[in-house]
Chain A
């Protein structure tokens, strides 16, 4: 009997390793429906995060665009200079015209 003890225990070990332990791990795992739900939720979460980041990026791009296209003080000064310069030229011309008429 002692002769068979060692092979028998070896066989039991192999049986446990290859047959029972996979069943035990399967029993512990989540059902297939639940398993499918988790990646979907994860995907949705990721999707929402990406959408939020995309919205932020779009807002920033729009802000940069408006900042870039907004007229600066140089344009304002240029415009005021043109207005007063033109009126000055017209006033000078009319004054000279009046003088020559006299």
Chain B
């Protein structure tokens, strides 16, 4: 899923980096110091999840878990994904430093969206929370694949063709992530339900 160095035009790489930096600053300001242990745990989960590869035809795809990170962290998800991506880039050689902004936008935006959706639609019953969590997990990966196609289209590729390929390749990941997110949320509802009550505040209170 990661975009490598030199794939995107310079203007797109610079633009996405600037937008990502802005959102990262916003995410940093919305992260309370008390939430840092949780952010660290989910950053590590995101960092390690990329090592779980699923064989798919001649190639293989790996887990991303943006939906789960977004649902559990809310606005701090962007910060967690930024740190995870920097480490994946430096230690695993996934993606590239010049494409870091694009990768961050591709995974971070769906995570924030998943957080927003989970916060507004999680409801009160256990079943509804698990269902919304699973939908957030699968939907965020689907959205990531769409952004990937959009970014690759900016480099001169045919959007429809790339989008089809990216979506088909990520069908198993979408399904597995929906299942994993649902299971994690169901487990958290039993052992620590307060973890799921993350306020998704877009603006600081005056």
Which A residues lie at the B interface, using CB under 8 A?
69, 71, 75-76, 78-80, 82-84, 86-87, 90-91, 94-95, 98
Interface size class of B (residues with CB under 8 A): 10 to 19
Q: Chain B contact residues: over half helix, strand or loop, or mixed? A: helix
User: Which B residues between 27 and 45 are near A, CB-CB below 8 angstroms?
Assistant: 33, 36-37, 39-40, 43-44
**Closest chain A residue to B80, Cβ basis:** A83
In the bound complex, residues from chain A placing their C-beta under 8 Å from that of B160 are none
A-B pairs with lowest CB-CB distance, top 6: A87-B40, A94-B33, A75-B91, A71-B92, A79-B87, A87-B36
Are B40 and A83 in contact, CB atoms less than 8 angstroms apart? Answer: yes
Question: In this assembly, does B184 line the interface, its C-beta being within 8 Å of a C-beta of chain A?
Answer: no
Are B33 and A91 in contact, CB atoms less than 8 angstroms apart? Answer: yes
Are A71 and B43 in contact, CB atoms less than 8 angstroms apart? Answer: no
In the bound complex, residues from chain B placing their C-beta under 8 Å from that of A95 are 33
**Residue in B33, B83, B92, B93 whose beta carbon sits within 8 Å of that of A83 in the complex:** B83
Q: A79-B88, A80-B47, A86-B40 are in contact. List 10 more A-B contacts (CB 8 A).
A: A71-B51, A76-B48, A76-B51, A79-B44, A79-B47, A79-B87, A83-B47, A87-B36, A90-B33, A91-B36
| Docked pose: A26 CA to B190 CA in angstroms | 93
**Closest chain A residue to B32, Cβ basis:** A94
Shortest distance between the CB of A71 and any CB in chain B (Å):
4
Are B93 and A69 in contact, CB atoms less than 8 angstroms apart? Answer: yes
In the bound complex, residues from chain A placing their C-beta under 8 Å from that of B44 are 79-80, 83-84
In the bound complex, residues from chain A placing their C-beta under 8 Å from that of B84 are 83
Binary per-residue interface labels of chain B (61-101) against chain A in the complex, 1 for a CB within 8 Å, 0 otherwise? 00000000000000000000001100110011100000000
Binary per-residue interface labels of chain B (134-150) against chain A in the complex, 1 for a CB within 8 Å, 0 otherwise? 00000000000000000
In the bound complex, residues from chain B placing their C-beta under 8 Å from that of A71 are 51, 91-93
| Docked pose: A25 CA to B37 CA in angstroms | 93
In the bound complex, residues from chain B placing their C-beta under 8 Å from that of A98 are 33
| Docked pose: A58 CA to B83 CA in angstroms | 36
| Docked pose: A69 CA to B92 CA in angstroms | 8
**Residue in A78, A87, A94 whose beta carbon sits within 8 Å of that of B91 in the complex:** A78
**Closest chain A residue to B87, Cβ basis:** A79
Shortest distance between the CB of B3 and any CB in chain A (Å):
17
User: Which B residues between 116 and 165 are near A, CB-CB below 8 angstroms?
Assistant: none
